[in-house]
Amino acid sequence: MLLIKNGRVLDPASKTDAVRDILIDGETISEIAAPGKISRANDAEVFDATGLVVAPGFIDMHVHLREPGQENSETIETGTKAAARGGFTAVCCMPNTRPVNDNASITRFIVDRAKVHGHVRVWPIGAASVGSKGEDISEIAAMRDAGIVAVSDDGKPIATAILARQIMDYCRSLDLPVIEHAEDVSLAAGAVMREGIASTRLGLSGMPAAAESVCVARDVQLAELTDARLHIAHLSAKASLEQVRFAKKQGLRVTCEVTPHHFTLIDEDVTYDSRFKMNPPLAAREDREALLTGLADGTVDAIATDHAPHEPAIKDVEFDKAPFGILGFETAIGLALEELVHTNRIPLMRMVELFTTGPARVLGKDRKLTPGEPADVTIFSYDRPWTYRVKESSSKSRNSPFDGRNFKGGPAATIVAGRLVHRA
């Protein structure tokens, strides 16, 4: 048994914000009560959470664990260790591994591997099309039976409108969300950052915001046509957010996520340092302002990191040649507190929602601190100062633009199925 004592329990599902003790028995939450009121906790191991926030287990619904195929950059073991260190209890891994997770045997490989080597829960996402090549629909039902929670061709968009329609139609019948990496590849061709004054100044090739929002518009209309559950991944542009807001007003089942780097940085922060290269690229100041509004007003459903490790040999090269993507797990809570909560843009409860009930709802799952529920708990500090040092990361890779950044508040402990998998 584990007793989490005296923490400030924040649970969006029950709207609880109070100091409580939580008793965990085995893999489940056994009792929640006012401090000192749990009588049968005498022989339990005690975690003193005085001064800390105790929340339902955080979910990162967009991550790359690189296994199978690119184990020099990350493995299920190292990736989930970094996730635990970042306060996440469950992660959804994208299918763009080598081979691509487009059939049940790869899905089972990931699920089995995660059972043995994973530090947190791993919920795979299956490829929407075979090999994510955008030609034929993949074996979605078989992958669903093997454990996928959604489909996506992430890394690229679902190639054509007709295929997107078929996939949405099919996934509606299975009640699975379709996650779109929204990008018009013709508008984005050859680009390495966002098009604008910053790209002109740096002499780097840019893609316009429309490269994303054109695809979002296509998909929103197809979601209306098919009544599918559509989720827009790593939404970065104001015009895309407006499409999602419009879709929600129409009652469509359209949701979206935003990454910490897109609500923190903008295109003017880009230098020739490839740690500032990601896709979608860092956007304009007005896009970031729109995302901050969407995070506050409920248009954005989830914060997801798009944790995208790349080993130094391939990432530490010229900006033009480097692959897209940065690490995300270990800085997510710190950035959310810094950019969203300490600035009074959103209440702490809303931040917790964006990491818990928000993504859970998109995935059709529950997330709450209630007796009888699985004991997945994220404990974090609201104001403890600390510095992120990427060389201490649990990830195999080092590609973070936030190395050396000072934070106020961050992960303190992570509990998965009653087990303390990380303690700061």
Q: Which residues bind Zn ion (CB under 5 A)?
A: 154, 181
> What is the spatial distance between Cα 224 and Cα 239, in angstroms, rounded to a whole number?
18
* Minimum CB–partner distance for residue 179 and Zn ion (Å): 9
Cβ nearer to Zn ion, comparing 11 with 154: 154
Secondary structure (3-state) at 25: strand
**Nearest residue (CB) to Zn ion, 74 versus 154:** 154
Q: How far is the CB of 155 from Zn ion (least distance, A)?
A: 6
Quote the least distance from Cβ 89 to Zn ion, whole Å: 23
Query: How large is the greatest C-alpha to C-alpha distance in the chain, in angstroms?
Result: 67
Between 87 and 280, CB nearer to Zn ion: 280
Which residue, 121 or 234, has its beta carbon nearer to Zn ion?
A: 234
- CA within 13 Å, CB half, 251: 0
In angstroms, what is the minimal distance from the CB of 154 to Zn ion?
Answer: 4
| The residue to which tokens 């955080």 are assigned | 58
Residues serving a catalytic function are 306
The single residue listed with the structure tokens 């692959």 is 323
Least distance in angstroms from the C-beta of 102 to Zn ion: 16
* Nearest CA-CA partner of 231 in 250, 212, 244, 245: 244
Tokens standing for 153?
Answer: 């061709």
Q: Which helix H or strand E contains 382, and what residues bound it? A: strand 377-387
Q: Residue 53 or 300: which CB sits closer to Zn ion?
A: 300
**Nearest residue to Zn ion, scored by beta-carbon proximity:** 181
Q: Are 64 and 110 in contact (CB under 8 A)?
A: no
Helices (H) and strands (E) in the chain, counts: 14, 19
Residue 57: CB atoms within 10 A of its CB come to 25
